[in-house]
Amino acid sequence: MAEQTRAQQLTGDFAPKLADLTDDVLFGDVWKRDGLSPRDRSLATVSALVMGGNTDQLVSHVRLALDNGVTVEELGEVMTHLAFYAGWPKALSAITVARRVIENTTAS
């Protein structure tokens, strides 16, 4: 049996079309386009997730941002900057998530 993607793990049995769209369109097309580097896409995505207060999705995107070359310092600066636009609680929640991800990543 083939290994499932994260989208398939999260939604495949409940909303298989959403898993397909996530895999094929979002990560198969949008994330592969030439207009932005993976690093810049990660910064934009992390920023959007912070702005929306989407901390569940932030976990995997902080990991991806680090893999795409965004530094820990840059993540901290982005989240600090966004506190003034997204609001303090959203920024603090995002920082809490990012710190946990970073600690788990460096501990591995």
Report pLDDT digits (tens) over 19-76. 999 999 999 999 999 999 999 999 999 999 999 999 999 999 999 999 999 999 999 9
User: Are 22 and 10 within 8 A, CB to CB?
Assistant: no
CA-to-CA separations, 56 to 1, 2, 3, 53, 65, in angstroms, rounded: 28, 25, 22, 9, 15
The confidence score (pLDDT) of residue 108 equals: 64
In this structure, whether the domain defined by 36-107 belongs to CATH 1.20.1290.10 is answered with yes
Please state the length of the chain: 108
How high is the pLDDT of residue 10? 83
Angle between helices 72-86 and 38-52 (to 10 degrees): 40
Residue ranges, CATH 1.20.1290.10, the chain = 36-107
